[in-house]
Amino acid sequence: MENLQDLERALNPYPFYEQMRESAPVFRDEQTGLWHIFRYDDVERVLSEHATFSSRQRQDEQSETGRLFAASLVNTDPPRHRQLRSLVSQAFTPRAVDALAPRIEAITNDLLDRIAPAGTADLVEALAYPLPVIVIAELMGIPAEDRDRFKKWSDNVIKAAGPDEVLAEDDPGEEASRGEMVEYFLALIERRRQDPGHDLVSALLGAEIDGQQLTVPELVGFCALLLVAGNETTTNLIGNALLSFAGNPGTLERLRAEPGLLPQAIEEVLRYRSPVQAMYRLAAADAELDGTAIPAGDSLVAWIGAANHDPRHFERPEEFDVDRSPNRHLAFGHGVHFCLGSPLARLEARIALQAVLTRLPGIAVVPGAALERVDSTIVFGPKQVPVFWQA
Ligand code: HEM
């Protein structure tokens, strides 16, 4: 599996996925003992059959990050998962999220006002990064000015979350970030206990399941999950959309002429350049995938990025096609863990990209710009998107 190492910073993992889908779709890496799953049907099964493929982490495979998220819903199986999820799902219904639209538009316009006269910018730094952080910080009732700290923490967390890093020695940068994050959220939880507000953290503190409140580790894990999940992923969706639109001739013009096409175009970005390329599971029972036996106790990596390019499910999968419909991609997962933040991510991406299309006419990626991938094996997106436009 040396190829996976080479891939780490690769902007284009798709030829490798194709090779694995066709020659070794259920592959055990002898070095790490991890199973890697590449075909759509298998990835969908691994993500959704929670009785067989658990979201718990094996104790000995828990990185510092794993321990931080251990008590949060993404790492919990039913029936506890259902209880945890019901506590927070109210805040994330499409209706509740739609109410945030005016505020998201205002933040977007404010961010674009700062760069509009310049004619050039890195749109990750100027828009794709700050927008989701400001939105999630406001939802959680924490100062958006702390966002440089959030950025450092979540960068370190996603860097440490790859299939090989999970098994590696804990990284000191990641450990320090985890410690700071836990301290930050413990202090926040204490402040809100004393002085509740109308934010998500206060709501979670007041929430009860069968007369029991969330434990402190569950609260901290959930705050950390929201900060990382609500942050890097949406940033990368917007960055990936800018690259996909600018890289496919005629797309920007077409979206400008037919704004109604934008939500469908965003779904195609989610498929074509999935911001989360892989998720983990633990075999809770003996299982079989594509005729290969997976023993109970083994860990699996379900490659969402490979599934979303599987020709068994998508015609011309290597083509970016804004007209693709239906588009049953797995970018937000599948089954009980289906992304809770998907309505918010879709809304933020739509507002941000619409604003770019209307406010920055003639936008193009700076020719010859050296694009780099964010430092992570599982999160996928560009570090920068340097663009220019006509005033
Ligand atoms: C779960 C992707 C944005 C919160 C997930 C899962 C995926 C995913 C693949 C499934 C995990 C699994 O099966 O183990 C994405 C992508 C996003 C995005 C691609 C942006 C484009 C967000 C946002 C939030 C969020 C904005 C919150 C503000 C969550 C939470 C879960 C989750 C809380 C756990 C749900 C559960 O375990 O029941 N996300 N996400 N995500 N996401 Fe997202």
CATH number of the domain residue 360 falls in: 1.10.630.10
pLDDT for the residue 58: 64
Residue identifier of the C-alpha nearest atom 42 of ligand 1:
339
Query: Closest Cα to atom 1, ligand 1: which residue?
Result: 339
Residue 331, CA atoms < 13 Å, CB-side half-sphere = 26
Residue nearest to atom 15 of ligand 1 (CA): 332
Give the closest residue to 209 by CA, choosing from 335, 92, 82. 82
Closest residue CA from atom 30 of ligand 1: 340
Residue nearest to atom 17 of ligand 1 (CA): 233
And the tokens for 162?
Answer: 């790859």
Rounded CA-CA distance 4/17 in Å is 10
Query: Residue 263: what pLDDT?
Result: 98
Run of H or E residues at 283 = strand 278-283
**Does the CB atom of residue 87 touch ligand 1 within 6 A?**
no
Domains contained in the chain, number:
1
Judged against a pLDDT cut of 60, whether residue 325 lies above it is answered with: yes
Nearest partner of 133 among 230, 66, 260, 211, judged by Cα? 230
Structural domain that includes position 265: 2-388
Closest CA to 111 of 97, 99, 101, 125: 125
SS (H, E, C) 58-116: CHHHCCHHHHHHCCCHHHCCCCHHHHHHHHHHHHHCHHHHHCCHHHHHHHHHHHHHHHC
Task: Specify the pLDDT at position 227.
Answer: 84
What are the structure tokens assigned to 112, written together?
């674009």
Q: Within its chain, how far is the Cα of 106 from the centroid?
A: 24
Query: How many angstroms is it from 250 CA to the middle of ligand 1?
Result: 31
Give 230-271 pLDDT, tens digit per residue.
788 999 999 999 999 998 889 999 999 999 999 999 999 999
142-165 pLDDT tens trace? 887 887 788 788 777 777 665 655
223 lines ligand 1 (CB under 6 A): no
What is the pTM assigned to this prediction? Answer: 0.93
* Amino acid letter, residue 303: W
For a ligand 1 pocket test, name from 73, 332, 374 the mutation site with the most ligand atoms within 8 angstroms of its C-beta. Answer: 332
The 3-state DSSP composition of the chain as helix, strand, coil percent (nearest 5) reads 55, 10, 35
Q: What is the mean pLDDT of the chain?
A: 88
137 lines ligand 1 (CB under 6 A): no
pLDDT tens digits for range 166-215? 444 455 566 677 788 889 999 999 999 999 988 888 888 888 877 888 88
Residue of 339, 350, 374 best suited for mutating to test ligand 1, as the one with most atoms within 8 Å of CB: 339
Residues constituting the chain: 391
Q: How far is the CA of 41 from the centre of ligand 1 (A)?
A: 20
Residue that is written with structure tokens 């000191």 in the block:
172
Q: Which residues pair with 36 in a beta bridge?
A: 27, 301
Looking from the CA of residue 346, the nearest atom of ligand 1 is: 21
DSSP secondary structure code for residue 120 in this structure: E
Tell me: pLDDT of 296 over 60. yes
Separation between Cα atoms, residue 258 and residue 256, nearest integer Å = 6
